[in-house]
Amino acid sequence: MAEMIDHPCVQHKLAIIRDVETGHKRFRELATEITKFICYEALKNIKTKEVTVQTPVAAAKCHKIDTDLVVVPILRAGVGMLEGILELVPTARVGFVGLYRDEETKLPVTYYERFPVQIKGGTCIIIDPMLATGGSTAATIEKLKESGAGSIVVVCIVTCPEGIALVETAHPDVLIYAAAIDEKLNEKKYIVPGLGDAGDRLFGTSH
């Protein structure tokens, strides 16, 4: 299932990050800000435990997060969202996945993988600005499940029906959170209207 975060603050920032005139510095800032909003919603159902805290006045019953959180950016563009979620949950650990598409099979191939041991039984948050075809996301979910992840959510800025359908078919238990569900993929597998190449725009490598 995919959920679009339609809060006015998110949609306002989305309008600016989409703009072709937005430079890489502002694009990075907006990616961080939007990620924080989306992750706030994506983590609303994580496991907590009741604790008692002594305030200056009296004892108070409170709740603290009761699961290991592991953030997994899909390289390279996912790194541009990492700061946003770590500002929200600074104790989260970080794993990384790097994938490329085999030109013959058209399937994702892993070239880098590194996960903390806390992934076993923990809550994993996959981050990538664009969930386009869904191939890399589905492959990453599979790797996290093989590593023993307790639960998995996907956080992206923009996605589309084709990517959502692929992930939902392969992993119906994984929720997707996004700031926008766009119209479609074009012939080059870019999301329309999308953001363009998020990695290039994040790191200033576009022409």
Tens of pLDDT, residue by residue, the chain (207 residues): 899 999 999 999 999 999 999 999 999 999 999 999 999 999 998 999 999 999 999 999 999 999 999 999 999 899 999 999 999 999 999 999 998 877 777 678 899 999 999 999 999 999 999 999 999 999 999 999 999 999 999 999 999 999 999 999 999 999 999 999 999 999 988 999 999 999 999 998 865
Domain count within the chain: 1
Catalytic positions are: 101, 105, 197, 200
How many CA atoms lie less than 13 Å away from 93 in the CB half-sphere? 15
Sign of the CA dihedral with 27 first, then 30, 36, and 38 last: negative
Residue 117: phi and psi, rounded to 5, are -65, -25
Tokens of 150: 């307790």
Tokens of 92: 């989260």
Strands 69-75 and 123-127, by their bridges, are parallel
Q: At what angle do helices 8-18 and 24-42 cross, to 10 degrees?
A: 150
CATH of the domain at 169: 3.40.50.2020
The number of residues in the chain equals: 207
pTM for the whole structure:
0.92
Q: Which residue range(s) make up the domain with 23?
A: 2-203
